Amino acid sequence: MRLHSDGYEEIDEGGNKRKSLLVTLTKVGVLLVLLIWGTVIVLKTVNGIVHQPLNRPKNRGNSRTTKDGHLKVSFANVRNNTFTPKIQPLQWISGPNSTTDDNGLFVTHINDSYVVKSVFDPHYSKTLFKGHSFLYGQQNLTVDTMIASPDLQKVIIRTNTTKNWRHSTFGSYFVFSTEKSEYQMIGENISVVEWSPNSIDIAYVLDNDLYLYSVEKQKTTKRITDDGSAQVFNGKPDWVYEEEVLEGDSAMWWSPEGDYLSFFKTNETEVYEFPIPYFVQHSDDVYPEVRMIKYPKSGSPNPVVHLNIYDLEKERTMNVNIDDDSVLITDVLWVGAERLLARVTDRTSDILSMVLVDAKKDAFYEVPRVEFSDDGWWEITHDTLYVPKDKSRDRHDDGYLDVVPINGYNHLVYFSSCDLSNPVILTDGDWEVVDGPAAFDYESNDVYFLATKKSSMERHLYSVNIHKPLVIKEITDTSKDGYFDVTFSSGSRFTLLTYRGPDVPFQKIIDLRSSKTDETIHGNVVGKTLYYLETNEELKGHLESYAIPRITYQELNLGTDEKGNQILVNSYEILPNDFNPRLEKHYPVFFFGYGGPGSQQVAKTFSVGFNQVVASQLNAIVVVVDGRGTGFKGREFRSLVRDNLGDYEAQDQISAAALYAKKSFVDEEKISLFGWSYGGYLTLKTLEKDAGKHFKYGMSVAPVTDWRLYDSVYTERYMHTPQQNPEGYASAKVHNATALGEAKRFLLVHGTGDDNVHFQNSLKFLDMLDIEGIENYDVHVFPDSDHSIRYHNANTIVFDKLLNWAKQAFEGHFISDMY
């Protein structure tokens, strides 16, 4: 995981991910606990009143309504999804010849059935599976997930799912034939399955070995590997590759015709183990359960990963013999029936190599492209897109699309042959292409992509033709603010356009090849809208009853840097209800920070969550600042933090706090900073650097406190190794306890079961405070919770505690406790 907290993303304010809101409290369970113990009185309401500490000053701004009678935002209506926009799932799928004959096939759920539909042909319908469960033998099994075969005749069903790490699971897998209405069991306790393009073979991983299952023969036909163990993984990633490299549970890739299967063989024998104790898994446990995890901390041995290719016809495995065992293989892409590209970097992401492998020639490889990061780094991406040869469309060789820095900004390039080292530059300018090419139209040669061309806080859809470089065509309406997501049908004729803000989100299906356009422009300016998938009319109705605190996007000038250049950063502020700028020294300021390299929090997306609760319930100004080191403002802006994490990021938060402290309506004694994960680290580094001058309070959740303790793949990309950069690691560590002691007070929160940012970080930090005699802090520990802090109702409690703690700070409750 890239140091993003799932716990905060639940009600995140313009962050990088969006997930469902916090789950509703199980009131019946709470009442049972009360009846059993009979000693605790818990006050809960359904109207947004959060837990109140005893013996505290009168509440500030805690009225449930504004002056004009509108309801204020509270946890109650955030948690019951009052403000959650509906985003309809639509899974595009590929049918036979779908790249040239694109009927816009997708899977949806209708009347308790999984059905294949077509956006092009409203009469087309094919039922894959009916119901949510099925009977196998004497067992009634629940369908947890389903994967359609490429020919749409069969589906793989997973049931009895057990969660492993962030992306990985174990489960029982079955094949269901839609024509024969029969089930085949592949096996139990399987971790990964992948359909072959031929719709006959299925590759799967059991006990870290790789197998082939044949649907035709209804049995496992081949055991590809036999060395799988607790130390060796075949076809699936280990912990660090799952979290930081592949960001998924699979490490295998079928060739386009299904003749070859490439896969990773990962050996983590030399990786050190880290123990994680679990204390409350079972009520009758008196000794904690200790789970060992292979976790490479910065500077320690990484897993050794080899790329292998299995030839199905010859039934043999070939090793791509890359000499250096210390490299990171970050992506694999088949570029034709027999060749693949492997994206390879050195351990510290300074050098990128594109390795071209020929499976037909015993995995012989060459390296047509090597690029250096200069003063930056190569971020791990999975955005390279294969462009097949088609002489009728002036594509004379197999090529690919990629994103590389052009004049300091990330832009699209086209390698017309995989053997080439110099590409055609498709886009250029002081803006960036985001997440690589979104789609390639095999008929028109158009490349679709999302970019920050209008504003780094927005995402609009554009296109460029590979034979007409630098001629950019707008697809979405850039005359209006907009942040769009897109997914495309298999042939890129149709797109699901999802508008995510700043206004209420909507979704629509567009035919990009239609000669007609919309009569009324709404979202897109190219293509014909076939229909709206979602308009969120119910949400619009809800919003009429509430006073949503006003949000303003801005670019802050934080002064000049060492070179005399102005420091311009993206920011937004949320003003509380009934805001009155004529009040003197009245409003507290609640900064929310993340600040990780290449990240972004200030984005024009619709969200009503924790930040709005703070503004409404605490009568506070909420401020979010994307300082130097964050993404989408060019390479120089983000790469400044290389080898020196925590310095510039903290400086920029302090500079922003200084600006707000000068505002007449701000109470400069009540400025706080909150962050989770990297944001928790940023909070502590900012308090350390500021030494109580501007930030009086801080709330740090699940922070890294010493980069020697975090995983190697993430840390070394930005810091190199501790052996190479000892001074940088010493400086980046949260280490000045005396300076932290100058703040009025801060809060530290962590889960003991955090497999990502280990609880060790907070324990070592607390030990430092003890040694230095620093006592101006509070601590809350969540037993067995991981990085998202949600075990045993923890996610509700942690946000209640954050809000209440900030409230006490702003009301001066901690001042009387000073000693």
Looking at residue 764, its amino acid is: K
Confidence of residue 95 (pLDDT cuts 50, 70, 90): low
* Pairing label, strands 697-701, 745-751: parallel
3-state SS class at 656: helix
Examine the pLDDT at 61 and tell me if it is beyond 60.
no
Q: Where are the beta strands (DSSP E) in 662-714?
A: 666-676, 697-701
Name the residue with tokens 């020196």: 644
Token digits of residue 410: 């990330």
Residue 436 in contact with residue 398, Cβ under 8 Å?
Answer: no
Rg over alpha carbons for the chain, rounded to the nearest Å, is 27
Token digits of residue 454: 């209008």
Confidence of residue 55 (pLDDT cuts 50, 70, 90): very low
**pLDDT per residue over 399-415, tens digit each?**
999 999 999 999 999 99
Known catalytic membership, residue 227 = no
In the 3-class helix/strand/coil scheme, how is 452-463 assigned residue by residue? Answer: CCCCCCCEEEEE
Known catalytic membership, residue 489 = no
From 51-65, 443-457, 476-490, 595-609, the region with the lowest mean pLDDT = 51-65
- Distance CA(101)–CA(443), nearest Å, equals 10
3-state SS class at 76: helix
**pLDDT per residue over 762-810, tens digit each?**
999 999 999 999 999 999 999 999 999 999 999 999 999 999 999 999 9
537 C-beta neighbours (distance < 10 Å), count: 11
pLDDT at 41: 30
DSSP 140: E
Examine the pLDDT at 734 and tell me if it is beyond 60.
yes
Domains defined for the chain, CATH in brackets: 6-85+547-817 (3.40.50.1820)
From 117-126, 157-166, 422-431, the region with the lowest mean pLDDT = 117-126
pLDDT at 99: 60
347: Cα within 13 Å, side-chain hemisphere: 21
pLDDT at 792: 94
Find residue 549's DSSP bridge partners: none
Examine the pLDDT at 6 and tell me if it is beyond 50.
no
Examine the pLDDT at 34 and tell me if it is beyond 50.
no
Burial of residue 37 (number of CB atoms within 10 Å: 0-12, 13-18, 19+): exposed
Name the residue with tokens 């497999």: 755
State the DSSP H helix or E strand holding residue 474, giving kind and residue range, or none if neither: strand 468-474
Mean pLDDT of 580-596: 97
Mean pLDDT of 288-309: 96
- Distance CA(479)–CA(44), nearest Å, equals 46
Q: What percent of the chain has pLDDT over 90?
A: 78
Annotated catalytic residue: which of 149, 672, 677, 788? Answer: 677
Looking at residue 376, its amino acid is: G
* Pairing label, strands 587-592, 666-676: parallel
Annotated catalytic residue: which of 118, 785, 787, 788? Answer: 787
Nearest in space to 13 (alpha carbons), one of 727, 549, 541, 664: 549
Confidence of residue 96 (pLDDT cuts 50, 70, 90): low
766 C-beta neighbours (distance < 10 Å), count: 16
Nearest in space to 746 (alpha carbons), one of 701, 786, 679: 701
| C-alpha to C-alpha distances, 715 to 83, 377, 499, 523, 703, nearest whole angstrom | 36, 12, 34, 39, 14
Known catalytic membership, residue 787 = yes
- Distance CA(424)–CA(571), nearest Å, equals 35
Nearest in space to 610 (alpha carbons), one of 790, 810, 793, 803: 803
Nearest in space to 175 (alpha carbons), one of 200, 198, 151: 200
Annotated catalytic residue: which of 446, 647, 754, 786? Answer: 754
- Distance CA(755)–CA(753), nearest Å, equals 6
247 C-beta neighbours (distance < 10 Å), count: 15
